[in-house]
Amino acid sequence: MAFLLFFIAFLALGSTLDFLFVFDKKSNLNITKIEFALLSKLGSEKKNLVLWTEIESASQIIQNSRSQLSIFDLTSTGQSHYALSLMASTYNLAHFIFDDMKASYSPWTFSLSHEKSLYTQAVISILDKFNWTKGVFFLSQENIYLENALNSLFPNNLTFFVTQRDSMIAELINKEVFRLGSYLYFMFVAPETAQKITKSLKQAKLLNYGSSILMNHESSFNVTIDGSLIITEKGQEKTRSYEEFISTHIYGLIRILSFSTSFEEQQFDIKQKMDELCPSHYCTTSFNLLNVRNGSRIIINDTSASHFNNITFLGNNSLIIPSAQKKIIEISMNSGVSNPTGIPPYTHNTIEFKGVFLGISLINDQKEGILPNYYLQGNELDCGANSLNATFQFNCLKANINRIGQFFIPPNSTPVLLGFISNFKKLNVSKPIVAGRIGSSSVSSPKTYPLFGRVSFDATYLASMAAKMFYTLGWKTCALIYQTDSFTLDWVKSFIASAKEHEVDIINNPDLRSFPANTFYDTLKSNYSAVFKEAISCNARLIIWAVFSNISPDGMKMFYELGMRNGDLLIYYAIPGTISSIYAPETRNRDILIEISTPSIAFEQPTYIGDVGNMVADLLETRYGIDKNAQITTPCLLFDALNLGGYSLDFMVNRGQDYTNGTLLMSTIRKQRFQGCSGNVRIGDQTNNRIVEFAVLQNGYIDPTTGKIQISNNAYFKPIGTTILQMFKPVLYPGNTTIFPGQYRVVDGKCPFPDELVRTFDKGRYLVSGICIAIGLTTGVITFYIWRKWWNIKVEGLEKEQEMSVQDFIMAATIVIEFFQLLAMGPDISAISSLLSDIGIALSLDLDKIISVTQGVFWIFLDIIFFLVAIWFILSLIVLLRIDEKFPDFQLFRILDWLANILMPIIGNLMFIPVISVLLDVFVCDESIGSNFTDSFMIKDCYQFCWKGDHIIYATISLLCLIIYEPLAVFCRPLWQEIEHLVHVKYTPSYLMAKTVFQVILVLMNKTVKRAQDVAHGVLFTVVVVFFIIFSFWHKAYNYPRFSWWLSLSLIAVCYTSLLATINIGVYNSSSPAWLIILAFGWAVIGLTGILVQRKKYPSMLYRKKVKDTSTLFRFAFTFSRKSNKITPEFYSSNKDSISK
């Protein structure tokens, strides 16, 4: 105050001017302290100048006073002020109050307080200087006038709280002030209230770098905050209490009035003087701005804008004026493209992080929703985009440690993520890491990684679902290629287990499926070309490509250089997000990649779902040029990662919680639920993973109308839904067709791999040879045992003529059929006569010499053999156990018994060689494209690799069928001719036993020796046949000599043919017609000899009638009876007439 400058001289003159201090008992002021403070300023000799009295005595004192009194009104009510104002007017006395002026007061009343309009103007001057248009005001009831004045200048920007109960201040700040996100706080309250407000602001961590406090002088009595500003009346800069504040006002005025003069010396017009000092009857007209520094209050100057210099704000900040805009909350993201030295930059990373940029802009632009009163600042880091170098990353983080903010969003790389987690610990950074597209199961545990969460699925779950999806779509065969990093190995392990469960066969060599991470084209070509050759050679159309997108272009180039073209392969991009990023315009080798991998498929986490997803897709396209039809999924997931953190911050802000506490923020992140770009976003309580609701099958292809790459959603997989796979758009397969293209590629050659890869597999030959030797020995032992146990008997010769029956005809046909079967088991005669060769091949079911039995055809024939063996087993049981006799009332058993009589000679005798041969074909895997048993393939179907998948199942069934069929065939061959009464021509049992061993030996040699050495096989075959011819002469084959004779001749013809074929193969290797002529000549000699000898030595014992009553035969087949286990000749003789009729 100006009047403080004029006081000292008068005190020495001994003025008689008195000052009356009036107070009341209701006043909250400590009158004693005010009196003490004032008297200490005046000095003891000046005590006679002042008088203190209560209001009840004031009137009497005023009336009796002889001096010119000045009344200082310290009463607490307007009524008291008014009464004293009237007295002052009556006696022409100056009346001073510490309250607002009112119109009812007399002209002799003056206020020592400031005029509200002037004070308001001073506050506005400060706000204008710093451009503070937004902040929070705490007002006492007495200062509420500021709200009306400032609201008119800054509508809807300033927030006012009128403090009424101090007990509610902490709750007010935590719930209301905290969510406003203000940097600026203005306090115009009582000292005790200001102290509580300051304490609560500190506890809520709202007073930090970049913030500021402006308070009135009263609020600063009990508050000292470095960097705060105080607006005070001039002269009051050092006062620190109400009492000191009031006594300073009074003392200053007393000094002015005492210095002026006295009424005794000259008639001093005190009213005139006060009108000069206190315009508008307010004595405080100017203000100073104080800045608290190191606990001291520094006077800046008056509150005019030109004098605001050298101010230090909170945090010892003298360079940045606190913003009046939204309070900043910082977060960070690794959105750069750099990688450690030697690794190409990952430019697609900036595209993926557009989702974060979009999310930040939407949060900051909105007036409602997430953090409406805060400004979210995203700090971009560049510490390795998709390749980890721990030292490089550590140094980068250390240089940016103050920019990490409240949470961090990593790039789409598990190794890089694990590096960030490790380096955060080393740098003592306890902030949540919220990932968009991280699929590794290794980071799923909140116990191991408590400050991590992701809005993506565990990719191993997608791997297990993918195998089930392949099975559902009909894909039973695939090749797998993967890179050996921790994430991919987890994925592969899960996929292999699920593929096994769902019968999806991974057919490429396990040793040739992988290469290290970050292996690019040059290294792939020089060190890992065998991986790609193996995938091609197995001829699987479906390639499971579990490789990161930065290497994928180089992998597709390898396929291209090895001859693959569009339509050859169906690439399944296994790593989440690859299909949406791999086709980006900046991708290297993009044309080759498109050539090889369109169409392609992937099993992905759903993105761009619902209204939010559509909005994000539209904005990404309009703002950043990301084609929404390309379905680039990572920006969508990163958008949700940003919003997961944003919703969590908003939750904590609205509840006044400390969002700078990383552990508390992570706990809040785990509780959030919201509708995001990728659907309902929520993290599990006991996991770091996104809760799975459904996954989507995606299809990448070229749109024929636009020529652009399109990524379409074709099906939803809902593991907890009633419909697990919901297909709503057909999948586009290689060749741009929706028709399933088949498990294998269509190739020009016989097999799905180049011929130069095929080599003899010695291990396979040893194995099949061992199997054949075991079968041969077992056959010999079993046959000998059956012969000794049951069939060491003689058969009566055919001594009188018999009518030739159908069964006798079958016996005759057997000689012819077995002749051609034996030719097929011998050396190759196709060079001599392809017709004869084909007949033998057909009768022995060695059909791959005639037609292609690859790609599943052979399995059809094998299934037929399985069926025949099953029928054989059932019919054998019917006959051996005489079930039809034990259950005569069951017509089914009678029918089966009848079928047994018909089919037993066919299945058990004529089909013996074909059945044994086809069953053994399953084990013939003596060629391979690798060094392992699983690299070998079946000779009958080179599309089927051996000793894995379906082959093991079929091999097991085939072995079981051999165990069932062969012993039953050995036993039932002679049994049939004994129980069938119409058979006149019979084998001798010893011959049948020998023939069994003979046929098995020929089949075994055909599967082993013939494949190794044709000439050796021909010689060995001829020798075995010669021995069997000798045996057949020694042990008559039939009870009918004519049949035995022709059987011997057929064996001689086989031996002759074998000898010719062996000579041709071993010496001439010619297909000249001369060989056929020689063969025909030999056969003609054998046939002519047979006819001539037959006429002389082997008369016919069979005759045929021209007409037969077949119906009688048919009925008899169901009505004949047996004695014991055989139909005796006596029974046939007694019923011969009825049967003949």
Summarize pLDDT for 812-847 with one digit per residue, the tens.
787 888 888 888 788 877 767 667 766 766 666 565
Q: β-pairing, 184-188 with 212-216?
A: parallel
Identify the residue with better confidence: 672 or 564: 672
Identify the residue with better confidence: 536 or 647: 647
Q: What is the mean pLDDT of residues 704-724?
A: 81
d(CA 340, CA 233): 62
Nearest Cα to 507, choosing from 940, 953, 930, 956?
930
Q: How many helices (H) and strands (E) are present in the chain, helices listed first?
A: 41, 34
pLDDT digits (tens, 9 = 90+) for 283-305: 877 888 898 888 888 888 765 54
Q: Of 45-59, 485-499, 665-679, where does the model show the most confidence? A: 665-679
The pLDDT value given to residue 1138: 45
CATH match of 326-456+606-689 with 3.40.50.2300: yes
Q: What is the mean pLDDT of residues 966-975?
A: 83
260: confidence class by pLDDT, cuts 50, 70, 90 = low
784: confidence class by pLDDT, cuts 50, 70, 90 = confident
Question: pLDDT at residue 269 above 80?
Answer: no
646: confidence class by pLDDT, cuts 50, 70, 90 = very high
Residue spans per domain, the chain: 2-113+252-282, 115-241+285-307, 326-456+606-689, 458-604+694-746, 756-1104
The pLDDT value given to residue 844: 61
Identify the residue with better confidence: 338 or 62: 338
d(CA 1011, CA 1017): 9
Q: What is the mean pLDDT of residues 771-788?
A: 86
Q: What is the mean pLDDT of residues 888-914?
A: 76
pLDDT digits (tens, 9 = 90+) for 10-30: 333 334 447 888 888 777 778
The answer to whether the 326-456+606-689 and 458-604+694-746 domains have the same CATH topology is yes
According to CATH, what is the number of the domain 2-113+252-282? Answer: 3.40.50
d(CA 869, CA 892): 20
The pLDDT value given to residue 307: 55
User: Are 601 and 682 in contact, with CB atoms under 8 Å apart?
Assistant: no
Q: Which fold has domain 115-241+285-307?
A: Rossmann fold (3.40.50)
User: Are 528 and 519 in contact, with CB atoms under 8 Å apart?
Assistant: yes
Q: What is the mean pLDDT of residues 860-873?
A: 86
User: Are 885 and 1122 in contact, with CB atoms under 8 Å apart?
Assistant: yes
The pLDDT value given to residue 44: 59
Nearest Cα to 862, choosing from 921, 909, 912, 820?
921
700: tokens are 């990448």
d(CA 884, CA 370): 85
The pLDDT value given to residue 17: 47
The pLDDT value given to residue 949: 77
Question: pLDDT at residue 985 above 50?
Answer: yes
Question: pLDDT at residue 1113 above 60?
Answer: no
The pLDDT value given to residue 416: 92
Q: Which fold has domain 458-604+694-746?
A: Rossmann fold (3.40.50)
pLDDT digits (tens, 9 = 90+) for 415-432: 899 999 999 999 999 999
Among positive and negative, which fits the CA dihedral 836, 839, 842, 845? negative
Beta-carbon contacts of 1095 under 8 Å, excluding residues fewer than 6 positions away, are none
Q: For the whole model, what pTM was predicted?
A: 0.54
Question: pLDDT at residue 691 above 80?
Answer: yes
3-state secondary structure 318-387: CCCCCCCCCEEEEEEEECCCCCCCCCCCCCHHHHHCHHHHHHHHHHHHCCCCCCCCEEEEEEEECCCCCC
Q: Tokens 């286990």 — which residue?
A: 1125
Q: What is the mean pLDDT of residues 843-867?
A: 67
227: confidence class by pLDDT, cuts 50, 70, 90 = confident
Q: Which range is least confidently modeled, 717-731, 985-999, 1010-1024?
A: 717-731
631: confidence class by pLDDT, cuts 50, 70, 90 = confident
Beta-carbon contacts of 93 under 8 Å, excluding residues fewer than 6 positions away, are 62, 68, 69, 70, 71, 87, 108
- As a whole number of angstroms, the longest Cα–Cα distance in the chain is 188
pLDDT digits (tens, 9 = 90+) for 541-582: 999 999 988 899 999 999 988 778 888 899 999 988 788 778
Question: pLDDT at residue 264 above 60?
Answer: no
d(CA 86, CA 913): 140
Q: What is the mean pLDDT of residues 980-1006?
A: 82
Question: pLDDT at residue 434 above 90?
Answer: yes
Among positive and negative, which fits the CA dihedral 187, 193, 195, 196? negative
Question: pLDDT at residue 948 above 50?
Answer: yes
User: Are 551 and 387 in contact, with CB atoms under 8 Å apart?
Assistant: no
Beta-carbon contacts of 593 under 8 Å, excluding residues fewer than 6 positions away, are 552, 553, 556, 557, 582, 583, 587
1109: confidence class by pLDDT, cuts 50, 70, 90 = low
User: Are 412 and 438 in contact, with CB atoms under 8 Å apart?
Assistant: yes
Q: Which range is least confidently modeled, 385-389, 519-523, 536-540, 1114-1118?
A: 1114-1118
Percentage of the chain with pLDDT > 70? Answer: 88
Percentage of the chain with pLDDT > 90? Answer: 21
Q: Which range is least confidently modeled, 18-22, 180-184, 866-870, 889-893?
A: 889-893
Q: What is the mean pLDDT of the chain?
A: 82
The pLDDT value given to residue 606: 87
Q: Which helix (H) or strand (E) holds 420?
A: helix 414-426
1140: confidence class by pLDDT, cuts 50, 70, 90 = very low
Q: What is the mean pLDDT of residues 341-368?
A: 88
